[in-house]
Structure 1
Amino acid sequence: MRKLILAFVLSFVGFAAMAQAASVSDQTDKTAVIAPVQDFEEISVSDLPEAVVTAVSKDYPTASIDKAYKNASNQFKLELSLEDGTSGTVYADAEGNWIEM
């Protein structure tokens, strides 16, 4: 009888520990979805400074700018797509210098 009670207690503790771990990871996933937005707001591609457009055409001649975003620091996030179907995101300042973020 003691073995049965001990097995029940250990099983209960094991299930409780797994339930706790699952709820922690669920909270982490929800935070990660919100974080990448940062403080960039979408702008029209036509509103980009000429220096940024020139830098894209110089360094990525086969790229087209799909979307553009701007933050309060006057930095730009650009979503580019290349002719071969690949895409990526780059960051630049108002003078057309590339930024690593």
Structure 2
Amino acid sequence: MKKLILSAAIILGGLSVQAAVPSQVNSIIASVNIQDGYTEVTADAVPAAVKSTIEKSFPGTKLEKAYKNDKNEYKLEISSGDKKYTVFTDASGNIIKK
């Protein structure tokens, strides 16, 4: 009789372990693409005031690409060696913080 009760306790204990709900971690990654409204322009289309601001503020850099939006603001991709930077300016050459 003791063996029967012991066996029942072991079986019930084993079943309760199997009934435990495993915890799962679901990670959701959401990516959002925001269209910033800038269209690419040639380096010749960039105003002289913007070019001089870049030359004075970031000496030794090269203008790689230039973009312009509807508000007449410029997004400039400049490089210094193998480092690349993005700078925003208005048409007067004032640097905009974004």
TM-score with structure 2 setting the length: 0.74
Percent identical:
28
Structure 1 partner of 2:79: 81
Deviation at 1:4, TM superposition (A): 4.4
Counterpart among 55, 58, 63 of residue 57 in structure 1: 55
Secondary structure at the aligned position of 2:19 is classed as helix
Structure 2 partner of 1:40: 38
Residues of 1 paired with 2:76 and 2:96: CA distance?
11
Counterpart among 19, 22, 44 of residue 6 in structure 1: 19
Q: Which runs of 5+ in 2 are unaligned?
A: 1-11
Structure 2 partner of 1:100: 97
Q: How many residues align?
A: 85
CA RMSD of the aligned region, Å?
Answer: 1.7
Residues of 2 paired with 1:99 and 1:3: CA distance?
63
Runs of 4+ off more than 4 Å:
none
The structure with more helix, counted as a fraction of residues: 1
Residues of 2 paired with 1:58 and 1:47: CA distance?
19
Structure 1 or 2, whichever has the larger Rg, is 2
